[in-house]
Amino acid sequence: MNHKVHGAGLGLRRDFLDSLEQQAPQQISFIELVPENWIGVGGHLGKKLRYFTERYPVVAHGLSLNIGGPAPLDEPFLQRIKQFLDTHHVLHYTDHLTYCADDGHLYDLMPIPFTEEAVHFVADRIRRTQDVLERKIAMENASYYAAPGQEMTEIDFINAVLSEADCDFLIDINNIYVNSVNHNYDPETFLKALPSERIVYAHIAGHYNEEDFIIDTHGKPVIERVWELLDIAYQSFGVFPTLLERDFNIPPLADLLQEVDMIVDIQARNSEIVKQVQHG
């Protein structure tokens, strides 16, 4: 695994910038930025950003790469991303294995058809993106609610893209659970079929239940079953860096830190198990 960060992380949101600056919580080992929300930001907020990127290891999780979209790659945008990554010494740049634009921006993350043709198309665009950015990127398994034109399974599609593109992987534990319920597959079997050697870090988040359907909102606390899947992932692959995402209904920082503490505890327990095994 190619981990340039370690431990437990938190997605940086403007709602709690002041609280985070005042507390400097010890359990947060790295932070994640959404670059589209910060590129070109100056003044007071720009100084705040600098404060955090000078004090924490930083990863960036994009929303606009549009890796599966029919429109040509937006290379001027990629150049702006590259400058942002270089300026803030970003250790990993990630985006979603989805598309979000054609002639205009769709403002949503749409599923790529699980086909051989799409594998080659997406892998080619990832390789070009890595050439422009002059670094390896990581793609995230996305939640989806329909699978148009499906010719292969989700797990086979993900593995084929990562292999052909030779890129890294951001494993989203909550998305595995959400998709397993919505599309009726076993999350543990899916999880264990992912390429552990490509994992750079993980996301964990909450979601919204609509009767027997789940919507990936990042707007609630992480549920017990998702924590269990994270534990299983560590047991299967070893402990990897893991970051808490919260995008809506953002509570006080103290509440988020309780969930970060959960990550720390599960990591520590699995690390201790490994030590005991190694020492007989």
Whole-prediction pTM: 0.93
Residue 239 DSSP symbol: -
15-24, 202-211, 229-238: least confidently modelled range:
202-211
Per-residue pLDDT band for 144 (boundaries 50, 70, 90) equals confident
Mean pLDDT over 78-84 rounds to 97
CA distances from 279 to 91, 266, 268, 269, 275 (A): 33, 20, 17, 16, 6
- 258-271 pLDDT, tens digit per residue, is 999 999 999 999 99
Helix (H, G, I), strand (E, B) or coil at 247: coil
Per-residue pLDDT band for 207 (boundaries 50, 70, 90) equals low
- Higher per-residue confidence, 148 vs 158: 158
Average model confidence (pLDDT) across the chain: 90
CB atoms within 10 A of CB 205: 26
Mean pLDDT over 96-116 rounds to 67
Non-local CB neighbours of 255 within 8 Å, separated by 6+ positions: 221
Task: Round to whole Å and give the CA distance between 192 and 171.
Answer: 12
Question: Could you tell me the two tokens for 37?
Answer: 């929300």
The pLDDT of residue 157 is 95
Task: Round to whole Å and give the CA distance between 135 and 91.
Answer: 10
Q: CA 237, 200, 51: angle at the middle one, nearest 5?
A: 135
Phi, psi of 91, rounded to the nearest 5 degrees: -90, -30
The pLDDT of residue 38 is 94
The pLDDT of residue 108 is 52
Q: Which helix (H) or strand (E) holds 276?
A: helix 253-278
Residue 278 has pLDDT above 60, yes or no: yes
The pLDDT of residue 50 is 95
Residue type, position 23, single letter: Q
Domains recognised in the chain with CATH numbers: 8-278 (3.20.20.150)
Question: Could you tell me the two tokens for 167?
Answer: 């890129």
